Amino acid sequence: MTDELDPQLKQLLDDLKPVPPRDPQRAARGRARFLAESAQPVSENAFLRLINQILQFRKERFSMNTILTLVLVFAALFGGTAGTVYAAQDALPTETLYPVKTLTEDLRLALASEPEARLTLLTDLAQTRVEEMTQLAQAGVVPPEATLTRWQEQTRQALELAASLPEADMLRTMEQLRDRLRDQLRLVEQCAATGEPLQTMTRARDQLQQHLQLLENGLADPQGFRNAAQNGFPAEQPGGYGPGNPPEATPGSGSGYGPGNPPEATPGSGSGNGPGNPPEATPGSGSGYGPGNPPTATPGSGSGNGPGNPPEATPGSGSGNGPGNPPEATPAPGGSGPNPSPVPGNGGGNRP
Amino acid sequence: MTTDSELLSRLARSERQAFAEVYDTFSPGLYRYAYRLLGDAETAEECMAETFSRFLEALRRGKGPRDYLQAYLYRVAHNWITDFYHRSPPPADELPETQPAPDPLPESETIRREGQARLRAALAQLTPEQRQVIALKYLEELENEEVARILEKPVGAVKSLQHRALTSLKRLLTKDVTDDR
């Protein structure tokens, strides 16, 4: 892997470097505003802040020490060293050290008890799974089924956790998750554009589209999202995206919290939390979620514990509550219960 | 020279001079970073204001950075820019605001500005992490270790990310040129 740039790209990047001098008046105003803001009294007193910082520090140290100890014991048992554990963090699913990586992740998850920290971790891990799959696919290696499964599980857990938050937090988290899923979808699509489509990647792409649809629907209908989560987001069923499933299936159509797709609906991308697709339709998976906060609590978009995303993000116009199955449709295993008041919706795909 | 940990301790004690030092030390670099990615002075100022405001808010909540201030502030600015791109992706056909060069050759200047707009539009299509790694490494010219600190990833992971980001960027730019024909 080299850092060398091709000359054309280097020229383009160099052209972006010059920055006109900052307007001194604006700069002075910005500085004055910041200093004025910093002088404002804070809502909690300094003592409480200090306690908070100490507790946070202690908790982190405990967590990291515990994790490190356990992982080092594991590594020692298997003939490894601290270096092995560190090196494992970059391992890909096909590499020997990968189990050390997933063990470390599992330990971190086990120790993340607070919902916010857990959500952050789950979304970061899901992102890592997608990156692993795309790296393998770009190298022409089919990503192992287990990696996709792990991603599905981490995604599902994050979605369920989001649904358990108070409404304002849930909506904010869903927006963050949606942004993160969009990034993941972009990665997968970038990958698809560079080589032969692999079945695993096609499935990942379809599911990402479904998850995005699920979140769009959830942002329009938070209670529906909660209901769906209580009944369990449906997982992808074995064989649900078999070779016969057309990869070009229209994403998102007829998705929603309604009872699902009608028997003749195009299988695949239509996500839903309803009772599921009828037996003869290829079932679609329907769970999604997204991004989280970076470990050091950087406030900001889709990845921060601070002020977070601006509230202006609105659900896309293409989402809606699906029309649902006819009453006689048999619920697929794992499908969640019917929406108590299914609303006929627009269907439609993800917004760009 | 004041280290980040000293500065952070003084911030925790709400020393006014420490806040001024943070602003004076980090705002020029952050402004350049924001301007390069956003291509507009006013939006870059907005990014700066929000970055420092979020930083204060985090401090008040007992959160915020515990060690590397610069890395933390770059992350906040980057998150703001990511949000901004989600709200309004930069169009490739819009010329960016720049001050005129002292003696510009109109045609070459036009070509240069078009190139800038095209590159910004392509950067906006990358994932946030890919965009961040390109901006930090090739626009801000930071070392891999510094980029790793900002991204909170191992250096090896940053190199892989960088490789993927460059591949995607080249593909997007090539596609852009092909589409123009």
Query: B63 to chain A: which residues are within 8 Å by CB?
Result: 56, 297, 299, 305-306
DSSP H helical segments within chain A, as ranges? 7-16, 24-39, 46-77, 82-88, 98-111, 115-138, 145-163, 167-194, 199-220, 222-230
Residue B80: which pLDDT band, with cuts at 50, 70 and 90? very high
- Which pLDDT score, from 0 to 100, does residue B15 have? 87
pLDDT in tens, A119-164: 888 998 998 999 888 888 887 888 888 898 889 888 988 998 888 8
Query: At B147, phi and psi to the nearest 5?
Result: -60, -40
Query: B170 to chain A: which residues are within 8 Å by CB?
Result: 6, 9
Containing B8, the helix (H) or strand (E) segment is: helix B4-12
Q: Is residue B174 part of a domain?
A: yes
Closest among A44, A204, A239, A49 to A127, alpha carbons compared? A204
Mutation for testing the B interface, residue in A1, A301, A309 having most B CBs under 10 Å: A301
**Domain co-membership, B83 together with B113:** no
Q: Is residue B175 part of a domain?
A: yes
Is A190 in contact with B168 (Cβ distance < 8 A)? yes
**Domain co-membership, B18 together with B75:** yes
Q: Is residue B94 part of a domain?
A: no
Query: What percent of chain B stands above pLDDT 70?
Result: 86
- Which pLDDT score, from 0 to 100, does residue A78 have? 55
Q: Is residue B161 part of a domain?
A: yes
Q: Where are the domains of chain A?
A: 112-233+251-327+335-352
Q: Do the beta carbons of residue A219 and residue A175 sit within 8 Å?
A: yes
* CA distance readout (Å), A214 to A41, A146, A228, A350, B106: 42, 23, 10, 10, 50
Q: Do the beta carbons of residue A277 and residue A259 sit within 8 Å?
A: no
- Which pLDDT score, from 0 to 100, does residue B33 have? 95
**Residue B139 carries which DSSP code?**
I
Query: B80 to chain A: which residues are within 8 Å by CB?
Result: 300-301
Looking at A168-177, A304-313, B32-41, which range is the least confident one?
Answer: A304-313
- Residue of A15, A57, A313 with shortest CB distance to B115: A15
- Which pLDDT score, from 0 to 100, does residue B74 have? 94
**Domain co-membership, B1 together with B83:** yes
- Residue of A9, A194, A307 with shortest CB distance to B54: A307
**Domain co-membership, B77 together with B6:** yes
**Domain co-membership, B74 together with B133:** no
Mutation for testing the A interface, residue in B46, B81, B82 having most A CBs under 10 Å: B82
**Domain co-membership, B115 together with B162:** yes
Q: Is residue B97 part of a domain?
A: no
Distance from CA of A236 to the nearest CA of B (A): 26
**Domain co-membership, B84 together with B110:** no
The mean predicted confidence, pLDDT, of chain B is 85
Q: Is B169 on the interface with A (CB under 8 A)?
A: yes
- Which pLDDT score, from 0 to 100, does residue B49 have? 93
**Domain co-membership, B69 together with B109:** no
CATH label of the domain that carries residue B38: 1.10.1740.10
Q: Is residue B4 part of a domain?
A: yes
The whole-model pTM stands at 0.48
- Supply the range of the domain harboring residue B66: 1-88
Q: Distance (Å, rounded) from C-alpha B12 to C-alpha B141? A: 31
Distance from CA of B144 to the nearest CA of A (A): 10
Q: Is residue B127 part of a domain?
A: yes
pLDDT in tens, A301-334: 443 333 333 333 333 333 333 333 433 333 333 3
Q: Is B79 on the interface with A (CB under 8 A)?
A: yes
How many domains are there within chain B?
2
- Which pLDDT score, from 0 to 100, does residue B90 have? 66
Is pLDDT of B94 > 80? Answer: no
Distance from CA of A134 to the nearest CA of B (A): 10
**Domain co-membership, B35 together with B110:** no
Mutation for testing the A interface, residue in B26, B138, B169 having most A CBs under 10 Å: B138
Query: Which of B58, B88, B118 is the endpoint of a domain?
Result: B88
CATH label of the domain that carries residue B129: 1.10.10.10
Q: Is residue B93 part of a domain?
A: no
CB-based contacts of B89, cutoff 8 Å, min separation 6: B121, B124, B125
Q: Distance (Å, rounded) from C-alpha A10 to C-alpha B74? A: 23
Q: Do the beta carbons of residue A350 and residue A251 sit within 8 Å?
A: yes
